[in-house]
């Protein structure tokens, strides 16, 4: 009997048949759909679970070291640069180095975290050939299954896909369709060469625009002239874009230390030359611990006061700035320090304890008891306490 006849003469059979056909076709009746849980993130706000995130930067900016640092924190279940993580094993798929060179890098990052060696749960896989080869696809499938990895890092997207023309939309869409098969993916990518003195903030991923279009989150890393790093989220499909992070990268004799730093840190000197106007206003505001007026910011930034007010309003809507009559102050770096100090102490699998604000090792007993370095908690201005009496 046809569907039309069922609908006219046997409503119950019609509904049952239609539900069966819906199931066969993959059609979902949303009026009967159970609302899903909130989206999960491997790194809060930056790395959505079961989606592809692109991390792109100019060559030599430190993006691979940053990815190893992130992978270690996810494997350990420790906050990364002050951001909560969802702990899981990590598979680092490498197409640029070999296991010895990667091992040297991983040991140096681990020692920067106060560990003797890379943490349990961090796994390495060297790509032989190209990821678009069926043999390599099956190899990655098996590696993810055996390791139980809930995060896969690809370093780098271009090197791992030899033979694909990622300037063509067809090849790029095919690749990102493949990446969906592997769940949560952090794909490290390159940018076209920037002319000397050019604005790095205008850089995009090399190749087809579909790289950005099909990434659910896109992170740009910019290196300041003074050596500091600026990580900004340029795309986020599942919510508002996260506030940028200032990051310090320090090379020791046998360790690499990576830490979050304040926007006023001198290592970020010159970064404003590579930022859009909104982020220039945000950073300049962060340089004024007691707040600033739109006119004061406008004079410093050589922008009109009206433009600055518009950007301040946007920052307020994003939860990154607060106002008290005519004065404005950056909310993020003042309030985040207070909130971080109230969080439980973070410990590594080896029992070592790390600061809940900056992720560095806590060497002193009084620091470990407190849970953070004393100098990681700046004094909160009186007007901030009045503006946030319950925070």
More confident residue, 372 or 346: 372
- Please name which of 265, 207, 214, 208 lies closest in space to residue 235, comparing C-alpha atoms: 214
More confident residue, 347 or 168: 168
Which of 14-18, 70-74, 248-252, 278-282 is least confident? Answer: 14-18
Confidence tier at 243 by pLDDT (50, 70, 90) = confident
What is the pLDDT at residue 203? 80
More confident residue, 376 or 289: 289
Q: Looking at domain 42-263, which of 3.40.50.300, 1.10.3470.10, 3.20.20.220, 3.30.2350.10 is its CATH number?
A: 3.40.50.300
What is the pLDDT at residue 320? 83
Distance between CA 131 and CA 171 in Å, rounded?
A: 13
Q: How do residues 139-164 score in pLDDT, each as one tens digit? A: 999 999 999 999 999 999 999 998 89
Distance between CA 249 and CA 227 in Å, rounded?
A: 8
The highest-level CATH class for domain 271-387 is mainly alpha
> Residue 218 above 70 pLDDT?
yes
> Residue 240 above 70 pLDDT?
yes
The average pLDDT across 239-260 equals 93
- Going through 264-375 in order, the beta strands assigned E by DSSP cover 321-324, 327-330, 346-347, 353-354
The reply to whether domains 42-263 and 271-387 share a CATH topology is no
What is the pLDDT at residue 342? 42
- What are the sequence ranges of the domains in the chain? 42-263, 271-387
Query: Which is it for strands 47-48 and 41-43: parallel, antiparallel or unpaired?
Result: antiparallel
What is the pLDDT at residue 345? 43
> Residue 122 above 60 pLDDT?
yes
What is the pLDDT at residue 387? 42
Confidence tier at 124 by pLDDT (50, 70, 90) = very high
Q: How do residues 51-71 score in pLDDT, each as one tens digit? A: 999 999 988 899 999 999 999
Confidence tier at 340 by pLDDT (50, 70, 90) = very low
Which of 38-42, 216-220, 270-274, 354-358 is least confident? Answer: 354-358
* CB-CB contact of 231 with 45 (8 Å): no
């Amino acid at each position: 009997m046809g569907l039309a006849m069922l609908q006219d003469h046997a409503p119950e059979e019609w509904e049952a048949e239609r539900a069966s056909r819906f199931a066969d076709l993959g059609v979902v009746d949303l009026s009967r759909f159970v609302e899903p849980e909130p989206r999960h993130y491997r790194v809060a706000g930056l790395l959505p679970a079961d989606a592809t995130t692109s991390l792109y930067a100019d060559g030599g900016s430190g993006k691979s070291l940053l990815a190893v640092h992130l992978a270690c924190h996810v494997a350990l279940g420790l906050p990364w640069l002050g951001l909560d993580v969802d702990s899981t094993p990590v598979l680092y798929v490498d197409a640029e180095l070999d296991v010895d060179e990667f091992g040297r890098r991983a040991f140096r990052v681990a020692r920067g975290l106060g560990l003797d060696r890379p943490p349990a749960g961090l796994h390495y896989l060297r790509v032989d050939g190209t990821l678009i080869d069926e043999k390599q696809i099956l190899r990655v499938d098996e590696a993810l299954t055996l390791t139980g990895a809930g995060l896969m890092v690809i370093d780098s997207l271009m090197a791992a896909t030899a033979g694909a023309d990622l300037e063509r939309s067809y090849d790029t869409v095919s690749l990102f369709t493949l990446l969906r098969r592997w769940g949560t993916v952090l794909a490290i990518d390159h940018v076209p060469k920037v002319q000397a003195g050019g604005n790095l903030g205008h850089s995009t991923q090399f190749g087809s625009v579909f790289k950005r279009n099909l990434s659910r989150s896109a992170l740009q890393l910019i290196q300041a002239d003074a050596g500091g790093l600026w990580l900004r989220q340029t795309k986020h499909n599942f919510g508002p874009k996260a506030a940028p992070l200032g990051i310090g990268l320090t090379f020791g004799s046998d360790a690499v230390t990576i830490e979050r730093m304040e926007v006023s840190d001198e290592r970020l000197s010159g970064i404003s030359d590579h930022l859009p106007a909104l982020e220039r206003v945000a950073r300049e505001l962060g340089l004024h611990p007691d707040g600033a007026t739109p006119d004061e910011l406008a004079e410093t930034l050589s922008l009109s006061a009206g433009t600055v007010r518009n950007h301040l309003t946007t920052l307020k809507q994003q939860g990154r700035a607060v106002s008290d009559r005519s004065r404005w102050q950056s909310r993020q770096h003042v309030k985040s320090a207070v909130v971080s100090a109230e969080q439980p102490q973070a410990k590594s699998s080896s029992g070592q304890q790390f600061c809940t604000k900056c992720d560095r090792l806590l060497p002193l007993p009084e620091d470990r008891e407190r849970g953070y370095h004393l100098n990681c908690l700046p004094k909160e201005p009186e007007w901030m306490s009045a503006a946030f009496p319950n925070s």
